[in-house]
Structure 1
Amino acid sequence: MPKIHPLSDVKSSHIGKDTRVWQYAVVFDGAVIGENCNICAHTLIEKGVTVGNNVTVKSGVYLWEGTVIADDVFIGPNATFTNDAMPRSKIYPEKFSGITVKRGASIGANATILPGVTIGTEAMVGAGAVVVVDVPDRAVVVGNPAKVIRYVNK
């Protein structure tokens, strides 16, 4: 069974065993969260989001509709995910452009990921980076806009 803090607001019934959801987290109906995840305090996971197994979502992270997080991903505190390339008040796109984070990737604190971007397998996004294009597998990116500075060796 998942461990859900009584001060969280969890509407989804699709939360895997041994997942922990901490206080003040909000999980919408229609969100899917895998097993053995750690969903920290002050997070939001919207409907239409899929989170794999063994994922850590640190405090201050909001995952918007269309986002797909694979297994073994780390998302640092206050990382910002977006899903609307042309946001306007009360004007919504026909379909939101989700972000895909592939297996084993890590996203540093305060990184910003723009809509439609894919973060590759085992890639690393540095703290504060602004990711505007896809990140290749095993790449390390930093800066604004984020640029590849090296690749992670196995």
Structure 2
Amino acid sequence: MKKNLKMILNGFFILLALPLILIFKILAIASDHDALFSAFSQFLSLFPGKTGSYLRVGFYRFIMNNCHSEVVISFATLFSQSNTVIGRGVYVGPQCNIGKCTIKENCLIGSGVHILSGKGQHNFNDLETPLKDQGGAFKRVVIGEDTWLGNGAIVMANIGKKCIVAAGAIVVNDIPDYSIVAGNPAKIIRQRNQ
């Protein structure tokens, strides 16, 4: 019964999101796709509660590379890249800022987490060129299945499966499977499988 009710709710919120989806697709023909996506993400982030989450998921399912229907995307969470993948069972807490990434199944993303599009987004080697004009490279960050990112974590590198990232940790290097990490920069404090 609960599963059927969720399917009905998902269908209803897809219908509610349909005008936004169509407007986005039309505007995307003549606009910068990611800038437009970011603007729509900002607008959708303002709807509170479960209603807001269902509406966001209804929209993102058709605009992102892949967004499973069984996810929660909380209030004030912003996405900057449509080239994002969100797997089944993912919970994204409030006030997150998420770039180009893949979040695999059953991950928990705490409040205020920032997942950047790698650590090379901004070049800064040319002292004669303003920082804002030096460009950079966006890299896909992968968060492995069943991983928990604590509140306020900042992630710029891949994280393996079944990891725990402590609140406030700053991940600048890839983290292997089953690791518990903390600190700035994040360091392995123990392995979950030992």
Please report the TM-score for the alignment, with normalisation by the length of structure 1: 0.78
Shift of 1:4: 4.3
- Alpha-carbon distance in structure 2 between the residues aligned to 1:51 and 1:100: 10
Bigger Rg over Cα: 2
Cα RMSD (Å) of the superposition? 3.2
Unaligned runs of 5+ in 1: 14-18
Q: 1:88-140, CA deviations, whole angstroms, 9 ceiling, x for partnerless residues?
A: 425544x51121001101100000111xx111110000000011111111100
| Equivalent residue number for residue 125 of structure 1 | 165
Name the CA distance, whole Å, in 2 between partners of 1:23 and 1:124.
27
Runs (4+) of structure 1 moved beyond 4 Å?
3-7, 23-28
Q: Tell me which of 56, 77, 83 is aligned to 1:43.
A: 77
Q: Which has the higher helix share?
A: 2
- The question of 1:76 aligning with 2:107 is answered no
Aligned with 1:22 (options 42, 49, 53): 53
**How many percent identity over aligned positions?**
24
| Residue pair 1:23, 1:41 contacting (<8 A) in 2 also | no
CA deviation string 1:58-78 (max 9, x = no partner): 01112213x011001110001
Q: TM-score of the superposition, structure 2-length normalised?
A: 0.63
Residue 89 in 1 paired to residue 129 in 2? no
One-letter identity of the residue aligned with 1:22: S
Counting matched residue pairs gives 144
| Closer/same/farther in 2, CA of residues 54 and 23 from structure 1, 3 Å limit | closer
**Greater strand percent: which structure?**
1
